[in-house]
Amino acid sequence: MRKSRIVTVFMLISIMFTSLLFANGQSEESTTADKLFTIGMSQCNLGEPWRVQMNADVKSEADKYDNIKVIYKDAQNDTLKQRSHVEEFVSAEVDLLIISPKEAQPLTGPVSAAMAAGIPVIVLDRAVIGDDYTQFIGADNVIIGKAAGEWVVETFGGKGAKVVELMGLQTSPPGQDRHNGFREAIKGSDVEVIFEADVKWLEPNARKEMESALSRFDDIDLVYGHNDPAAHGAYLAAKAAGREGDIQFIGIDALPHEGVAYVKDGILNATFQYPTGGNIAIQQALKILAGETVEKNITLGSRLFTTDNVDTGGVELK
């Protein structure tokens, strides 16, 4: 009994150490040039592919330069953890902080504290309250939702369309914005939403809800997914029902492995990029570190990928 407990404890400890060995890959070092800048990257949640992509974009851009080193921290969707990450970066005296905050209110204070310590801060994707930061970089979900709506109206050219809307979490601002923008664009047109459901960004939910829509409506022209997985889930449901040929599918985000690949694969008809801004952040960081003045706010442009243009890298949306 006692022996088995010792063995268990020993096993657990060795598991812990081995996993720590792997964890070392967290910080990336580039070869040293004359002056090495350290940038802290505080990510709120690496559980989402889109945010994994954001970190990847930061990394691929940063790898191009020898004089910066980026340290990544993942707050795992925990506001307080992110707050202490910011504080750790401040006490480690990084040269610049990039933060993609989980929530505005609780992280405004720590960001101000970093500014007060003389560390420039780039806020990515989600804003903080007030203007005590160096630069905000983000895309506008309302604009993208609107672009999707306009695309639908245009594509169906006055013939009218029956649309199923599979929404992202409706208690989150991106979900609300993508909904409102879309509805604003189709207002007054012949495009009509006949079925909507909150699938909370999740693909299995989307497939489930789409099956319900299919069993209720014999005539569906288009599915608007608030993200690409939602549109993909809807496609799988339609395919199982043998109706994927009659329906168009559009999504948002356009990650290389997801939306863009879906369009290439002929699954989605269109996807609207929600850029991560990771690469822009590094470019701007270099300017800030070089002492240049930068714009306070940068709104990222979006790209549209359709079957026709996906091989040429999509087109820019205005």
Partner 1 sequence: MTDSTQTSALMKEGRFVRFLSSSAGRATIAFVLVMLLGLIFNADGAFFKLGMHRDALRQASVFGILAVGMTVVIITGGIDLSVGSILAVSAVLFSILTLHLDWPAWISILSCIIVGAGLGAISGTLIAVTKLQPFIATLAMMTFGRGVAKYITGGQKISTYLTNSDGEVIIKELPRIFKVIDSRIMGGNIAIVSIIFLFCLLITWLFLAKHKWGRELFSIGGNEESARLSGVPVKWTKFLAYTVSGIMCAIAGIAQAAQETQGDPEAGGGYELTAIAMVVIGGTNMAGGRGGMGLTLIGILTIGYLEKILSINAVPESGRLLITGVIIVLAVLTQRKNRN
User: Contact 65/286 with Cβ under 8 angstroms?
Assistant: yes
* Assigned token pair, 317: 């949306």
8 binds partner 1 (CB under 8 A): yes
Residue partners of 223: CB distance under 8 A and separation at least 6:
163, 164, 165, 166, 210, 231, 234, 235, 238, 247, 248, 249, 250
Among 130, 160, 256, 313, binds partner 1 (CB under 8 A): 256
Whole-angstrom Cα distance, residue 89 to residue 84?
9
Among 20, 21, 22, 35, binds partner 1 (CB under 8 A): 22
For residues 125-184, which are near partner 1 according to CB under 8 A?
170
Dihedral pair phi/psi, residue 200, rounded to 5°: 55, 40
CA geometry: angle 292, 91, 50, nearest 5 deg: 65
Among 59, 81, 126, 264, binds partner 1 (CB under 8 A): 264
For residue 170, the SS3 value is: coil
Among 61, 125, 177, 258, binds partner 1 (CB under 8 A): 258
Choose the stretch contacting partner 1; rule: CB under 8 A; options: 86-94, 134-142, 194-202, 291-299: 194-202
Among 36, 38, 49, 294, binds partner 1 (CB under 8 A): 49
Among 64, 187, 216, 296, binds partner 1 (CB under 8 A): 216
Among 162, 178, 207, 303, binds partner 1 (CB under 8 A): 207
Whole-angstrom Cα distance, residue 295 to residue 272?
25
User: Contact 158/127 with Cβ under 8 angstroms?
Assistant: no
Choose the stretch contacting partner 1; rule: CB under 8 A; options: 103-111, 206-214, 270-278, 286-294: 206-214
Pairing of strands 270-273, 121-124: unpaired
CA 229 from centroid of its chain's CA atoms: 12
Dihedral pair phi/psi, residue 135, rounded to 5°: -155, 145
233 binds partner 1 (CB under 8 A): yes
For residues 50-69, which are near partner 1 according to CB under 8 A?
52
In the complex, the smallest distance separating the C-beta of residue 200 from partner 1, rounded to whole angstroms, is 8
Q: Identify which of residues 133 and 272 has a Cβ nearer to partner 1 in the complex.
A: 272
Whole-angstrom Cα distance, residue 277 to residue 55?
10
Dihedral pair phi/psi, residue 69, rounded to 5°: -130, 130
Of the CA atoms within 13 Å of residue 178, those in its CB half-sphere come to 27
In the complex, the smallest distance separating the C-beta of residue 268 from partner 1, rounded to whole angstroms, is 12
Among 27, 84, 215, 299, binds partner 1 (CB under 8 A): 215
Residues that bind partner 1 (CB under 8 A): 4-5, 8, 19, 22, 46-47, 49, 52, 170, 195-198, 200, 203-204, 207-209, 211-212, 214-216, 233, 236, 240-241, 256-258, 260-261, 264-265
